[in-house]
Structures are given as C-alpha cells and as structure tokens.
Amino acid sequence: MSEVPGPILVVIPTYDERENIGPIIARLHAAVPDADVLVVDDNSPDGTGELADALAAADPRISVLHRTAKDGLGAAYLAGFAHALGGPHQVVVEMDADGSHAPEDLPALLDALRDADLVLGSRYVPGGAVRNWPAHREWLSRGGNLYSRLALGVPIRDITGGYRAFRRQVLEELDLGEVASQGYCFQVDVAYRAVLAGFRVREVPITFVERERGASKMSRSIVTEALWLVTRWGAQRLLRRSPATVPA
C-alpha cells in the first residue's frame, strides 16, 4: 500500500456563494489543515470573488482564480486543474462550495488514495447517504447514475457525484482538452475516461447534504446534456463492441 501523496489542492468553483465560501473553507482547514484551496470564481455578482480575495490575503493556503463569466462547472474545474498542474500539488480535490460535500469526509477520500488513483465520494454505496433532498431530486440522481452505469458499462455507483480526489498523474495523462461536457455530465465524462485509461477508481461513502443557503445551479439544460452525451457514448461503445472507447 502506497503513501498518500502531497501536497493537496482543493478546487472549489463558485458562483454567487458569498454566504458559503468562508464557512466551507474554515471547515475544510479544520478537517485537513495542510490542504491548499483554490477558489475558481466565475465573476459572481454577489461579491464571492472579492470575499475570496480577502480570505486569501489573510491565509497563504488560499488562492483565487478569477474567470470573466459564468461558463459552466466543467470549464471552471478544467481551469482549476490547469492551475494545479502548473504547481507542486500531487493531489487535486473537487469540492462544492455550498456545503453539500462535507469537508469532514475528505480525510477518508485521501486515505483511499493509498491504493487508488481516483477516489469518488459516493452517495450510493453502503454507508453513503443523501439528506434533505426532495424525493424527485434523489430519484433523478439515482436514475441518472443507473442509466450511466448500464450505458457505459462501468462499475461505478455514483458517477455523477462531484466530490473527488485525483492523483496528479490522472490529470496529467487524461486528455482533458477533449472534455467538452459541462454541468454534471462533466463528472461522468472524466470518471469514464479514467476507467478507460486503466486508472484505479474507488468509491468511498459520503453523506451528501442539500445546501442551506443560496440557490442550486441544477437546470433542465444540464440534465438534457447529460442524457444526450451518455446515450451517445453508450451507443459508440456498443457499435464498436468495446468498453474501451474514449468519449467523443
């Protein structure tokens, strides 16, 4: 069993998360004091970026990447990954700003990297849970994960989740320039590519908690994009009679 590599960078995309960004970073540093944080702000009208700058000025573990417009979750993470690969970090973590991903679960994700290359925080493995979601949101999520698992032929129970820890090598070797999907389908796309590339992917249970402050970024267009792309990738896999077909 290998050691957990370091240092660690937690990438937190934000858009109108002024009420949440301070508390989530404080909880993160209580759970993993040595972690660095990169806030990727999409020019939030509510001043999230300015608040993040103030937090960064007071704490060298925090930095901020300002983007000029709201361009989607996938684009924000890709910008954060590129920033991470330009520095010394050996582990890169995805985490939402809204509190749905408990920082207290991060030590378990990092520990699982001892024998994995990509660790997914999973709501739908034994021990995982969802709290405070309306029934239709949970069934939509469970149905989307089941459909993705069957269409793509991957043994991942929560492929749409966005709480993840990557070894640096995964981000270096995946062709992230080919990842065009946005929204939650970005998570499917990257995990699928990691499986096809032969990386060791593990799931560990997390408790997902619906945000208490601010508005969800989920929309009908996000769901439609995910359904279309997963269907297309699944059809490509069947037509080529191979599970090892990189999404196009």
- For the domain that residue 122 is a member of, what is the CATH number? 3.90.550.10
Residues 6+ positions from 170 with CB-CB distance below 8 Å: 117, 118, 194, 197, 199
Which helix or strand (DSSP H or E) is residue 48 part of? Answer: helix 48-58
Q: pLDDT digit string (tens) for 231-247?
A: 777 787 777 655 544 45
pLDDT at 210: 87
- Rounded to whole angstroms, the Cα distance separating 185 from 30 reads 31
- Evaluate whether residue 3 is within a structural domain: no
Cα four-point dihedral sign 175, 196, 244, 151: negative
- Evaluate whether residue 2 is within a structural domain: no
- Could you tell me the pTM of the whole model? 0.88
Question: What are the residue ranges in the chain where pLDDT is below 50?
Answer: 244-246, 248
- Asked if 165 contacts 110 with a C-beta cutoff of 8 angstroms, the reply is yes
- Evaluate whether residue 245 is within a structural domain: no
Looking only at Cα atoms, what is the longest distance across the chain?
55
pLDDT at 246: 45
- Evaluate whether residue 153 is within a structural domain: yes
- Rounded to whole angstroms, the Cα distance separating 21 from 243 reads 39
pLDDT at 140: 85
- Evaluate whether residue 63 is within a structural domain: yes
- Can you give the residue range of the structural domain that contains 59? 8-239
